[in-house]
Structure 1
Amino acid sequence: MEQTDPSPRPPRTAQDRNRRSRSIKLFVRDIVIIFVAAIVISVGIKTFLIRSFYIPSSSMTNTLQVNDRIIVNQLVPDVVPLQRGDVVVFRDPGGWLPPQEQTDVNPVVGGIAWFLTTIGLSASDSNDHLIKRVVGLPGDTVMCCNPVGQMEVNGAPLDEPYLNLPEGVSKVSGDDFSQVVPEGSLWVMGDNRYSSKDSRYNTETPGGGFVPIDNLVGRAFVITWPSVHWSWIDNYPDTFRGVGVEPD
């Protein structure tokens, strides 16, 4: 025997259709608001707090490997004090990097890359930035090398466990130097000391090899990619302990 629905669904009224349409519009509106808010927050974080970069060269191995992704704390040095041993990202002071060739980029690909970088899902192009370790602060006397091949800051020898030196080499720099860091500037060096074009080899540039503190983007504090390299980036405070004043 055929059964009939004892309570047939009433036909949808214009009011029901309008209510459903409003619900869909509210849902879409909320999604758009959340999406825009996420972008605004991401841009704000990138502008004022942190920024992502990739490592383009081997000058900081073994601390950082080529193509590692890092996060930079942009509160250094304006809010958080800068310290000797910090690994910092900075804009080219002038003449440190070779001129970059302009390449044509597909507008769609370029737009996607810009968007992902803006919201922090991609690393910034590092072609006009460098990353090195701070060895000398304003007023410091940096010198290399002492009779046992060590760097000295204000006369205090440094034990630098982060260095990557060629096998059988104990002298921490292939070239000797002695410099006094001027006010508002830094002396920076790569951890891969024999494969780093750092302050030692830029003395003929307009800045004399020193990096203006105003050129700093911030301090690198963590490696985020690849996952097997994930780690905090140490500034080795014990290495620089006691070098803030001239020893007796």
Structure 2
Amino acid sequence: MLPLVSVLTPTYNRLGELGELLEAVSRQTYKRLQVVVVNDNGVPVEPVCSLYPELDIRIVNLETNRKHVRARNIGLQYADGDYIMPCDDDDLLVPSHIETMMKHIEGADMVFSDAEIVNLVWQDGARVPIHRMEFAYEHDLAAMRQFSTFVPSGSLYRKIVHESVGSFDEQVYHYWDWDFFLRVSEKHRVKRVPIAGVLYAFSQDGGNLSGQLEDMKAYLNQLSAKHGLGELPAKNFFLLLEEPEVQSRRADTTVLWDGKPFRSRYAAIGRA
């Protein structure tokens, strides 16, 4: 029997986006999946999840809003899979993604793929791209200590790594993914998959672009102190991508997405 993969998704008041993620998961060529949806005290997600009866969905409803890192840690307790795949509720996966990642994790403990950074807007009940950009960089651990190109959504790792590195660190908050990558890399083999199988929803117009830089700086300082990273700049994400050190790591990748929207069943009944 194929190993079970648990897709771990915290969500808060984004039913339309969650519906599209579930649509993407339902299209996966790798079928032995569990989806752990952690509703962080938002509107009920059952109206969306019930539309995908073919998926093994475990809904975890939190009684208070615990924020996304704590929600992930709670979700881990309900993940039955041998492998964990974190995925934000607004990101998407191409249909072959999980199958590809399962093939590449042989001989490793964690794999992460390239991505497309996609600016998506709602149009007729589905999100359509208005801008796409390849996000593909060589995996250089020393360089990753200065600027992380690890995309947590769609990454895949063996659940047992938590036995050696612990849970996601809620204290570094904005940089929980960078911290987790560094901790796993210290003790386990990590590989990059040069295929853009993840569609990372990220707007250049605001939203999750930069957040409150001063607030983020405090967490960045905590991350740096924890790992001995030295002085790290809290800059706009797209400005950081223009830094020469980052530009020098750009790599070729394989782009798979045909650009068509992942119209969900929730949208089909006029709810998105």
TM-score by length of 1: 0.25
**Larger Cα-atom Rg:** 1
Q: Which has the higher helix share?
A: 2
